[in-house]
A and B are shown apart, each in its own frame.
Chain A
Amino acid sequence: MYANAYDIVASSMRYFFLLLIIYILLRLVQHSFSEFRAVQQIKKKVRSVSPGYLEALLPEEFLGRRFPLGRENTIGRSKRCNISIPLPSLAPTHAFIYEKKGGLYISDYGSRQGVLLNDERIGRHEEFLYTEDKLQFGGFICVLHLSGEEEDDV
């Protein structure tokens, strides 16, 4: 008698369990969506202000300094550059860092010393930049930090 009653209860509980799990699943998906969208908004906001910054490593006197980046940045010895580094090993305008199609790119402006990306010299064409890329302009070495994460539209 007891076994039968229990059996019936166990049978009916099936629907309860299923409904509960399906509800959890749907809520989960819904919340994940909203959260994803919210985070995207935030990242867009952050990116729109500044794509990132350069954190200097060498020479010693610059160590730890941060240079915030705008949408377009010229880097060089000259005071007219967006990021002005008064070191003789840099060309007056050494390199150009700019945003294009949601990504950050660097190109050599024609310097004698050249631009080193992760210890490899970049050619005349532009190079795509990743967060934590190491950049070297003459005697100035720094690390790039991207804010939020850059979007690629694929």
Chain B
Amino acid sequence: MYKWRRVSAAGLLTLIIVFELSAFSLLAFRNSTLDYSALAFGAILVAMLLFQYISLTAIFRHLDRYLLIIANLLVAMGLIIQYRIEAAIAFRQIIWFGIGMLAMVVCILFMRRPNIFRRLNLLILLGCIGLLFALLLVGSEVYGARNWITIGGQNFQPSEFVKVGTVFVLAHWLTNSRDLRGIWPLLFYVFAVVALLVVERDLGAAVLIAGTALIVFYVATGSKSLTLLGLAAGSAGALASYYIFDHVRVRVAIWKNPWATYSGKGYQIAQGLMAIASGGLWGMGLTRGSPKLIPAYHTDYIFAVICEEFGVIMGVCIIAFYLVFIVRGALVALNAPDRFMMLTAFGCTVLITLQSFIIIAGVIKLIPLTGITLPFVSYGGSSIIASMMLLGILEGVAIQGGETLERALKEMAK
């Protein structure tokens, strides 16, 4: 039943490879001397993508190929831009991507025995809180947020992994019970994590986790009143943070009018908008823009760089790709063989939804800017590993769902 699916997905992968190779070739010819490392880089990326696709589809027949392809496209796009800005960044990112691919496979395998996660739940719960707590003590401040840990010379962002842990915690407790009394450990966890993140000034992650928890809670319990209560509590918290923390006030002020504070805090948003405007609909063309003018050009603001060089039409396509990813993720959740996996898959979907929406909306000044990364595309070791893990969880659930369906078909045939 899946034969034609295989063919069409493979065809799309081929097109992605064509896209990626042509981009790197263009980059290779940038200077009058041929940049062999660009071509090599492109070739290595192709090899990695092919290897991943072929091996995974060979082992797991029910893999959701389109999810994988979208993720591959987004990663490729990210790598192209990163290489264009500075080759060194791209080299580091591709290594992280490799590690991410391994992490993804690990997650797929774990999802075949999801009960492991259920039994380890308390461990995950306490672990996440502990991790964030540890940040308070030993974390280093970057960009005004205390959310980085340096181990062995490499920077890690533990909040990314807490994201993944949260998905499991949410799913576990909401599988068992559907009312407040049964899930008080979950509530405690969410409050603790969000509070810690706010204290550590990682507002983006705080909003992300709070939002995900709220949405998954509503979906699992269907209790509109409780969800609205949670929403009210969250809004009250947001309002409070506006008055307490001046950096929240700054964020709102520069959202309203970045040009007024151009020489100070509004600079990033203004530069982003000018970049998008310079690109216009069709973009300036790869290598013809000036991405380095924008602060955080390779992480939070990578969407603006894409719009500058590839155009707003490309920007809309990227938004569309995320939407397709989300829809497919939700479908995976709906086809899950049991409730725990359904909630886990949906939790992953919500995370990706919220994360991509919040950062893109922040860049185009729809909402105030928060410091989070664009999943799969942005540079960042922890970011891409966490995103690949989420993808792995989704694929794991998809595989389980597909296998269950296949078994049911076989039962029928008997």
Contacts and interface: CB of A to CB of B under 8 A. Distances in A.
Interface of A: 2, 6-7, 9-11, 13-18, 20-25, 27-29, 31-32, 35-36, 38-39, 42-43, 45-46, 49-50, 53, 68, 130-132, 147-149
Contacts of A17: 19, 22-23, 286, 310, 314
A15 B284 CA distance: 11
A47 B11 CA distance: 32
B411 A147 contact: yes
Nearest to B287: A10
Contact of A13 (B26, B321, B328): B26
A13 to B, nearest CB: 6
Interface residues of B, number: 49
A95 to B, nearest CB: 22
Interface of B: 1, 5, 8-9, 11-12, 15-16, 18-19, 22-23, 26, 29-30, 32, 66, 69-70, 73, 282-288, 310-311, 313-314, 317, 320-321, 324, 327-328, 331, 334-339, 405, 408-409, 411-412
Contacts of B321: 25, 28
A46 B409 contact: yes
Nearest to B412: A49
B30 A31 contact: no
B193 to A, nearest CB: 28
B46 to A, nearest CB: 15
A18 B328 CA distance: 23
A20 B18 CA distance: 9
A10 B285 contact: yes
Contacts of A132: 338-339
A131 B336 CA distance: 10
Please give me the 3 A-B residue pairs with the lowest Cβ-Cβ distance, nearest first: A147-B408, A10-B285, A132-B338
A42 B339 contact: no
Contacts of A16: 22
B285 A18 contact: no
Contacts of B18: 20
Nearest to A32: B66
Nearest to B321: A25
B69 A28 contact: yes
28 contacts: A2-B32, A10-B286, A13-B285, A13-B286, A14-B284, A14-B310, A14-B311, A18-B314, A20-B19, A21-B317, A22-B313, A24-B19, A27-B8, A28-B12, A28-B324, A29-B324, A32-B66, A32-B324, A32-B327, A32-B328, A35-B66, A39-B335, A46-B412, A49-B412, A130-B339, A147-B411, A148-B405, A149-B334
A24 B331 contact: no
Given A24-B15, A24-B19, A147-B411, A36 B339 contact: no
A68 B311 CA distance: 57
Contacts of A149: 334-336
A6 B283 contact: no
Contacts, number: 111
B87 to A, nearest CB: 17
B339 to A, nearest CB: 6
Contacts of B26: 9-10, 13
Contact of B282 (A15, A25, A68): A15
B395 to A, nearest CB: 15
Nearest to B279: A14
Nearest to B282: A14
Contacts of A38: 1
Contacts of A147: 408, 411
Contacts of A10: 26, 285-288
Contact of B405 (A24, A43, A49, A131): A43
A35 B288 CA distance: 40
A64 to B, nearest CB: 15
Contacts of A53: 411
A42 B285 contact: no
Nearest to A31: B8
A18 B306 CA distance: 12
Given A25-B324, A46-B409, 9 more contacts: A2-B32, A20-B15, A20-B18, A21-B317, A25-B317, A31-B5, A132-B339, A147-B411, A148-B405
A132 B412 CA distance: 20
A16 B286 CA distance: 11
B29 A6 contact: yes
A29 B408 CA distance: 28
Given A10-B287, A24-B15, A147-B411, A36 B282 contact: no
Contacts of B283: 14, 18
Contacts of B334: 149
B25 to A, nearest CB: 10
A2 B18 CA distance: 25
B401 to A, nearest CB: 8
